[in-house]
Amino acid sequence: MSKLAAPRGTADVYPPESARWQALEARIHAIARRFGYGEIRTPVFEATELFVRGVGDTTDIVEKEMYTFTDKGGRSLTLRPEWTAPVVRALLEHNLLSSGPQRLYYVGSFFRHERPQKGRYRQAHQFGVECFGYGEPEADVEVIHLAYELLRAYRIPGIVLRLNSIGDERDRPAYREALLRHFEPHRDALSEDSRRRLERNPLRILDSKAPEDRAFIANAPTFLDLLSAESRAHFDAVRAGLDAIGIPHQVEPRLVRGFDYYTRTVFEFDSEFLGSQNAICGGGRYDDLVRSLGGPPTPGVGFGLGLERFLMLLDEMGASAAAEREGIAVVALGARARKLSLELLAALRRRDDAGVPIIQDYGEAKLERQLKRADRANARAAVILGDDEVAASVVVARDLVARTQSKLSVPLASAEVTADEILRWYRELRPATAFPEAV
């Protein structure tokens, strides 16, 4: 047991697990591309101020969950706890909004200083999408559709899309008042947390799981009762759009989210398999965020989808298929063969443009051990080169799955041509696939 360990709430990802991440990420890039989204990469840390202003200074994230530090220049910096504010900052910094609507996505880490538990880590990974410049309900539908496509691609069961509208900046004060009028008379009966929320952010009471709050929440006024005509029409249009393209959803009048910047549409994809951290994807519209960070009034919609939680769901449905056997192991026996194999190995690796792994077990090991290592390394085939083969100018091409083999006549003097022959043989054995399937 090493004294050095990964910090609490962080994790290493290594083979074979890392292959699942790569496969998922490949899928993500492909789906984002199909929806016309371009990747944006922003720094892992930002000025603390950005999150305070963007996410809201009374949110839990800003109050107690940020990894904040002071650098040597005395600046207060924070590891990003969410990714929408940084994207907006980048957009404004490079004046990208002046060239029209922007469709952007990102994949990577974010950080929150919380006690780890199932589905919650201090460093986690997320795929997120932000669509700027469209206030129309079609944009809400587009973003939800994108997330839905990813879930559908993996046939994830037990997922529900929960949807709500929390109105816009103009609707908000009236609703706040209505909630205060509703909860204030029962102040003493509410949970301690909810009494605090009454002061700071009454909306969040709706999210409480405390049993003592439940009765009061159940008959609290909902936003849907008080929406302005415009917000109402927007919400109805989003729902109609989802219906039109066959995305099932349920309206959840109590759904509120943890960031202050949301307006109108908020949504979550929840799973019944993830314990209490059951939101796999959450998002919504934020029509006022860009302006509040100093930019031109620009509507936006987006979501964040947790990669750890997504992978956990795949585990849950028993999707951890055994990694497919792939690649060629070069086996060399004897000094002459080893010398030739050095060039052959390099030629195979250079020639191959479709990602066939080429490995070799170096050293004087006998055939048995080299085959054993090839087997353990999950190679699909082995190419054996010994004194007999060198003398006859052939190579033994062995199928490690069928346990059969044949001799390929090759010009050993030319490593390049030999490599081509071997790869041609291998391609018949195992055609290339577009996507790694090991997820």
Tokens of 425: 């043989």
CB neighbours of 168 closer than 8 A, spacing ≥ 6?
Answer: 228, 230, 231, 263, 264, 287, 288
Site for RNA in 308-337 (CB under 7 A): 308-309, 333
**Could you tell me how many residues of this chain bind RNA (CB under 7 A)?**
71
Q: Can residue 124 be called a binding residue for RNA (CB under 7 A)?
A: yes
Q: Which is nearer to RNA, 15 or 100 (CB)?
A: 15
Q: Rounded to whole angstroms, how far apart are CA atoms 297 and 287?
A: 8
Site for RNA in 58-77 (CB under 7 A): 59-61, 64-65
Q: Can residue 101 be called a binding residue for RNA (CB under 7 A)?
A: no
Please, what is the minimum distance in Å from the beta carbon of residue 240 to RNA? 25
What per-residue string of b and e applies to 146-184 under the rule 16 or more CB within 10 Å gives b? bbbebbeeeebeebebbbbbbbbeebbeebeebbeebbe
Please, what is the minimum distance in Å from the beta carbon of residue 99 to RNA? 28
Q: Which stretch binds RNA (CB under 7 A): 166-174, 176-184, 344-352, 393-401?
A: 393-401
Q: Are 318 and 312 in contact (CB under 8 A)?
A: no
- In order of 92, 108, 248, 305, the CA distances from 86 in angstroms are 10, 13, 31, 17
Site pattern 183..202 for RNA (x: CB under 7 A): ----------x---x-----
Please, what is the minimum distance in Å from the beta carbon of residue 230 to RNA? 25
Q: Which stretch binds RNA (CB under 7 A): 35-43, 180-188, 275-283, 414-422?
A: 275-283
Q: Which stretch binds RNA (CB under 7 A): 182-190, 245-253, 348-356, 401-409?
A: 401-409
Residue in the structure block whose two tokens are 């950080």: 111
Instruction: Identify the residue among 53, 103, 112, 239 touching RNA (CB under 7 A).
Output: 112
Phi, psi of 290 (to 5 degrees): -60, -45
Q: Which is nearer to RNA, 194 or 222 (CB)?
A: 194
Q: Can residue 389 be called a binding residue for RNA (CB under 7 A)?
A: yes
Site for RNA in 144-183 (CB under 7 A): none
Q: Rounded to whole angstroms, how far apart are CA atoms 126 and 218?
A: 33
Please, what is the minimum distance in Å from the beta carbon of residue 229 to RNA? 28
Q: Which is nearer to RNA, 203 or 227 (CB)?
A: 203
Q: Taking the CA atoms of the chain, what radius of gyration do you get in angstroms?
A: 28
Q: Rounded to whole angstroms, how far apart are CA atoms 307 and 294?
A: 31
Q: Which is nearer to RNA, 227 or 331 (CB)?
A: 331
Please, what is the minimum distance in Å from the beta carbon of residue 147 to RNA? 10
Q: Which residues pair with 306 in a beta bridge?
A: 126
Q: Which stretch binds RNA (CB under 7 A): 18-26, 141-149, 253-261, 428-436?
A: 253-261
Please, what is the minimum distance in Å from the beta carbon of residue 350 to RNA? 25
Q: Can residue 210 be called a binding residue for RNA (CB under 7 A)?
A: yes
Q: Which is nearer to RNA, 278 or 292 (CB)?
A: 278
Q: Rounded to whole angstroms, how far apart are CA atoms 135 and 117?
A: 37
Q: Can residue 4 be called a binding residue for RNA (CB under 7 A)?
A: no
Please, what is the minimum distance in Å from the beta carbon of residue 3 to RNA? 7
Strand bridging mode 394-399 / 381-385: antiparallel
Please, what is the minimum distance in Å from the beta carbon of residue 427 to RNA? 19
Q: Can residue 20 be called a binding residue for RNA (CB under 7 A)?
A: no
Q: In the Cβ-directed half-sphere of 224, how many Cα atoms lie within 13 Å?
A: 11
Please, what is the minimum distance in Å from the beta carbon of residue 71 to RNA? 22
Q: Rounded to whole angstroms, how far apart are CA atoms 273 and 316?
A: 7
Site for RNA in 226-245 (CB under 7 A): none
Q: Are 314 and 153 in contact (CB under 8 A)?
A: no
Phi, psi of 271 (to 5 degrees): -120, 145
Q: Rounded to whole angstroms, how far apart are CA atoms 314 and 109?
A: 20
Site for RNA in 359-378 (CB under 7 A): 365-369, 371-376
Q: Are 285 and 264 in contact (CB under 8 A)?
A: yes
- Write the DSSP assignment of 187-216 as a string of letters: GGGS-HHHHHHHHH-GGGGGG---HHHHHH
CA 20 to chain centre: 12
Q: Can residue 204 be called a binding residue for RNA (CB under 7 A)?
A: yes
Q: Which is nearer to RNA, 155 or 366 (CB)?
A: 366
Instruction: Identify the residue among 68, 109, 292, 405 touching RNA (CB under 7 A).
Output: 405
Kindly compute the dihedral angle of the four CA atoms of residues 90, 91, 94, 99, in this order, to the nearest 10 degrees: 160
Q: Which stretch binds RNA (CB under 7 A): 4-12, 38-46, 236-244, 345-353?
A: 4-12
Instruction: Identify the residue among 150, 280, 313, 328 touching RNA (CB under 7 A).
Output: 280
Q: Can residue 282 be called a binding residue for RNA (CB under 7 A)?
A: yes
Please, what is the minimum distance in Å from the beta carbon of residue 63 to RNA? 10
